[in-house]
Structure 1
Amino acid sequence: MSVSIHSVDSLRTLLELEQVKPDAFLGAGPNLGWGRIYGGQVVSQALRAAGLTVSASHRVHSFHAYFVRAGVETETVLYEVERVRDGKSFTTRQVVAYQAGGAILNLIASFQADEDGEDVQSRLFPHATPSPDRLESMPTDLFFDHRFVRHGNDPSPRATSWLKVIGDLGDDPMVHACALAYLSDEDLLGVALLPHSLAGDWDSMMNASLDHAVWFHRPVRADQW
């Protein structure tokens, strides 16, 4: 397989990395005309690279990532994985993403063997939230369906959205975890800007994600609401 900017037409193909040497993988994304790579792309591919070096008996339970510099969307990305620890219960991987200008992302992910235990993180679904079939899809160049729940003129920094990946991702739990990582970079920056006077005026400000973290409490299908 040879990855190409022009061959990425779905999230499933975006997560198909090419192994170029032991523990090193090459990834590509769509050329959207943005100049910079969508942060969720680099995070999801870095997590995918980490997962390709881990036993299927271990599932990712968290990752922490730092965006070192902006990625260039017309270049492929090299993901180099360091096997920090292989334990019976926990496995740790560190991934650095590189382009021609140097490192663009540093991610560390922790994987845990499946174990029985109490599900203590459950939270009741907010019943006042409209179902996605009652909401309009927001226009986007990315590989997901985004349906935003509007809260009137409420200026508080919060947002409610329905998100799912477009297309069938299959049944691999690691692929769905990576897809959730891809989705998780949507909305965050816009929500943080809501209390500020320039909120929504993207042409009048310079903004970027600095770091990102996700905890996975249970398996999820990212291609379903």
Structure 2
Amino acid sequence: MREEHVRELVDLLDLERLEDNLFRGQSRDIGTRFVFGGQVLGQALSAAQRTVDPRREAHSLHAYFLRAGDIDAPIVYSVERTRDGGTFSSRRVVAIQHGQPILNGSISFQEPEKGFEHQTSMPEVPSPEDVEPMRHLSPEELAKLPVKLQRWLGIDGPFEFRQVWPRDDLHPVKRPPIQHIWFRLTAPISDSAILHRALLAYASDFHLIGTATLPHGISYMTHNVQMASLDHALWFHRPFRVDEWLLYSFDSPTAQGSRGLARGQIFSRDGRLVASTAQEGLIRLRDS
């Protein structure tokens, strides 16, 4: 079953080419009400990569989520070949559904070259083998939740997550806005670095904005809280594999104006910093 989920996700990122700069991707229902933002990020990166010399590797992605995506409709990706320089290429991507943009993104690519190197150290945390898998809710607990949450929490996904400091989203308590989560794809895939980057773009949207809720004792399960990703930034630093354990280390420096900011660093288990992320999201209290 795990292999099937992984194969479905890999197929989801393999877009249909309609024209030189136009691609179409399908949507996958992972139990959320709308298209998962990470899916649109991964597909946008896949579309842009198809218009670039394959020797050039994506090193940064910046995107704005404009509208919620319809899980029952395909998404068209229009790529603008902004510039091809001596070592860098820049692409603008617009994801479109029902004639309207749902995401605007810019992605930059670079031919590999050597230069100065330094990085921050990986946090000292237990190894993934020493961290318990995330607990699945019992049928009785699921039955007490809204139907949309039952679907989200009842579907197995292609990634496995292990929280170093587990939290109970049903009964959240106030705690510092820091968390560390080990994750990996649940089955091995090919060696394609392009595919691994697209899959990391997909996974990078998990748990980010939730970090900004930690000091407030709320979660996405809190009945009167509205949450949505507003933008997303991702930088690739070093080679990695998403079918091997990676540590996602999060912090949230601020929340204000119904928005929260979260940052992430992704490390290989041998301590190499392979990617960095940042995201601002809507965190709004609604009238009960």
Q: TM-score normalized by structure 1?
A: 0.89
Structure 1 residues without counterparts, runs of 5 or longer = 1-6
Structure 2 distance, partners of 1:165, 1:182, is 11
Equivalent of 2:64, from 66, 71, 77?
66
Q: Which amino acid aligns with 1:161?
A: I
Structure 1 distance, partners of 2:132, 2:6, is 26
Give percent identity, aligned residues only: 41
Measured against aligned partners, the alpha-carbon deviations of 1:1-46 in whole angstroms (never above 9, x if no partner) come to: xxxxxx9953211111111111111111322342201110000100
Q: Which residue pairs with 1:125 in the alignment?
A: 122
Partner-residue secondary structure (3-state), 2:17 = strand
Q: Which amino acid aligns with 1:81?
A: V
Deviates more, 1:182-191 or 1:29-38: 29-38
The answer (yes or no) to whether the contact 1:67–1:104 under 8 Å persists in 2 is yes
Structure 1 distance, partners of 2:70, 2:187, is 26
Residue 126 (structure 1) shift: 2.5
Are 1:144 and 2:159 an aligned pair? yes
The answer (yes or no) to whether the contact 1:8–1:30 under 8 Å persists in 2 is no
Q: Which residue pairs with 1:185 in the alignment?
A: 205
Structure 1 distance, partners of 2:233, 2:158, is 21
Q: 1:72 to 1:9 in 2, by over 3 A?
A: farther
Structure 1 distance, partners of 2:227, 2:102, is 16
Structure 2 distance, partners of 1:137, 1:98, is 37
Partner-residue secondary structure (3-state), 1:130 = coil
Measured against aligned partners, the alpha-carbon deviations of 1:87-142 in whole angstroms (never above 9, x if no partner) come to: 1111000100011151100110000111011222x232333x11112223335643
Q: 1:133 to 1:10 in 2, by over 3 A?
A: farther
Q: Name the Cα RMSD after superposition.
A: 2.0
Are 1:41 and 2:39 an aligned pair? yes
Q: Which amino acid aligns with 2:10?
A: R
Q: Which residue pairs with 2:20 in the alignment?
A: 22
Structure 2 distance, partners of 1:103, 1:8, is 28
Measured against aligned partners, the alpha-carbon deviations of 1:40-92 in whole angstroms (never above 9, x if no partner) come to: 00001001100111111111110100000100111111111100001111100
Structure 2 distance, partners of 1:74, 1:200, is 23
Q: Which residue pairs with 2:11 in the alignment?
A: 13
Partner-residue secondary structure (3-state), 2:227 = coil
The answer (yes or no) to whether the contact 2:219–2:225 under 8 Å persists in 1 is no
Structure 2 residues without counterparts, runs of 5 or longer = 137-152, 168-172, 246-288
Residue 202 (structure 1) shift: 3.4
The answer (yes or no) to whether the contact 1:143–1:166 under 8 Å persists in 2 is yes
